[in-house]
């Protein structure tokens, strides 16, 4: 066997190992089903700023949940018609409250500041608080499922990974690669282990026990954090609370970035923070993204015979399977090398922007 053939076989073996590990990780992540009949009530809070395209669907889906005692929406200085949509909805639903926000104060970030304002206007009364983003559409029974998970896992904060709708070619190529990096750095099994300090929460949907949320200072304690969801999760876990991450593809869906500029700016803002602000960690994941994403193609280039072709096709099949299991389009696995390079570039761009002090939008 030639050195090139050995490389191809080794590449395939490495991917098989990672593929198996990935499937085990998926299998270990709880997959709750909607439970519209599960007992319990929540106070729900939803921050919104210029969300006219999505706000009605999000609010209507939240109000359809039988567990929502009250939904408080913070209209944080919208100028695109969001205000008018919310006023119309509030006129027909007595459980909907709309708070007019005025933006963050000095040193504050918009989303946590808006949630602080919402709770100041309408203090929570229920045992459980739900925080949901304006671009998230909840499935009927989603909150019941989260309450059930909290009860049976004895968790204090439950969060989910939703179905991410991918519309454009760029989304379908890049989003699975970035998502894989985020979940590789924050494996749900580790987050869900109370003995492991790893903490994570997805601010798109968070259910949290009010007593512990109040004890750690709530969103007021993380009002200066761009990544307020992870910061809140860290405080909850450090205080002895239990985090619980679930596969929520049956519970919620969202389209994070419909436009290329939003995708690049959104991940530039968040990725370095998701890597714990550590340059070495960011560089390591960027390198891993490029190497693993392109390994099959490299094997085919290095060994142009049967071994190289087998490695390429085998790795491509595993990449397609992981995308399918994650809810993405498996056919786009053929673009995995490109997606991996773009994801790595976003990690590096995020690190450069944060460390240079240039800032992010």
Q: What is the pLDDT of residues 135-163, one digit of tens each?
A: 999 999 999 999 999 999 999 999 999 99
Residue 359 has pLDDT above 70, yes or no: no
Across 49-58, average pLDDT: 94
For residue 135, which of 271, 274, 257 has the smallest C-alpha distance? 257
The Cα diameter of the chain in Å comes to 75
For CA atoms 144, 43, 197, 322, the dihedral sign is positive
pLDDT tens by residue, 59-108: 999 999 999 989 999 998 888 899 999 999 999 999 999 999 888 889 99
Q: How far apart are CA 117 and CA 132, in angstroms?
A: 15
Q: Is 280 helix (H, G, I), strand (E, B) or coil?
A: helix
Tell me which DSSP letter residue 7 carries.
Answer: H
CA distance 315 to 14: 10
Calpha distance 53→286 (Å, rounded): 33
What pLDDT is recorded for position 1? 85
SS3 state of residue 285: helix
Supply 242's token pair.
Answer: 């239990």
Hey, what CATH topology would domain 42-168+186-255 get? Spore Coat Polysaccharide Biosynthesis Protein SpsA; Chain A (3.90.550)
How does pLDDT run across 115-137, given as a tens digit for each residue?
999 999 999 999 999 999 999 99
CA-atom Rg of the chain in angstroms: 21
Q: Residue 360: its pLDDT value, please?
A: 62
Ranges of each domain in the chain: 3-28+267-353, 42-168+186-255
- What's the average model confidence in pLDDT over 250-278? 95
Contact 274, 187 (CB under 8 A): no
What does the pLDDT average to over 31-49? 95
User: 305 to each of 5, 88, 299, 336, how far by Cα in Å?
Assistant: 8, 65, 10, 22
Instruction: Enter the pTM of the model.
Output: 0.93
Tell me the two tokens of residue 302. 């290095």
**Which run of H or of E encompasses 129?**
strand 128-132
Q: Please tell me the predicted confidence (pLDDT) of residue 77.
A: 85
């Amino acid at each position: 066997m030639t050195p090139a053939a050995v490389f191809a076989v080794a590449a395939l073996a490495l991917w098989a190992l990672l593929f198996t590990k990935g499937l085990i990780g998926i299998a270990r992540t709880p997959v709750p089903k909607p439970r519209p009949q599960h007992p319990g009530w929540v106070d729900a809070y939803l921050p919104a700023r210029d969300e006219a395209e999505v706000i009605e669907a999000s609010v209507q889906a939240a109000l359809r949940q039988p567990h929502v005692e009250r939904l408080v929406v913070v209209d944080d200085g919208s100028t695109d018609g969001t205000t008018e949509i919310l006023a119309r909805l509030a006129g027909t639903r007595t459980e909907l409250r709309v708070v007019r926000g005025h933006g963050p104060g000095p040193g504050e970030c918009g989303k946590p500041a808006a949630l602080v304002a919402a709770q100041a206007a309408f203090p929570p009364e229920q045992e459980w608080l739900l925080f949901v983003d304006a671009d998230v559409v909840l499935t009927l029974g989603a909150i019941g499922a989260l309450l059930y998970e909290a009860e049976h896992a004895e968790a204090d904060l439950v969060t989910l990974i939703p179905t991410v709708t991918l519309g454009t070619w760029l989304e379908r190529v890049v989003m699975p690669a970035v998502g894989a990096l985020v979940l590789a750095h924050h494996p749900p099994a580790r987050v869900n282990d109370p003995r492991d300090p790893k903490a994570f929460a997805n601010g798109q949907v968070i259910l949290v026990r009010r007593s512990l949320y109040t004890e750690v200072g709530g969103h007021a304690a993380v009002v200066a954090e761009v990544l307020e969801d992870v910061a809140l999760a860290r405080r909850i876990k450090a205080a002895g609370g239990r985090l619980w991450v679930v596969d929520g593809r049956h519970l919620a869906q969202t389209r994070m970035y419909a436009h290329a500029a939003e995708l690049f700016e959104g991940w530039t803002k968040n990725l370095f923070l998701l890597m714990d602000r550590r340059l070495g960690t960011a560089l390591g994941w960027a390198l891993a993204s490029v190497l693993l994403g392109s390994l099959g193609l490299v094997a085919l280039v290095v060994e142009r015979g049967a071994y190289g072709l087998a490695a390429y096709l085998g790795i491509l099949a595993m990449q397609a399977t992981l995308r399918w299991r994650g809810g993405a389009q498996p056919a786009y696995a053929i673009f995995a090398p490109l997606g991996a390079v773009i994801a790595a570039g976003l990690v590096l761009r995020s690190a450069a922007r944060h460390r240079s002090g240039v800032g992010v939008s």
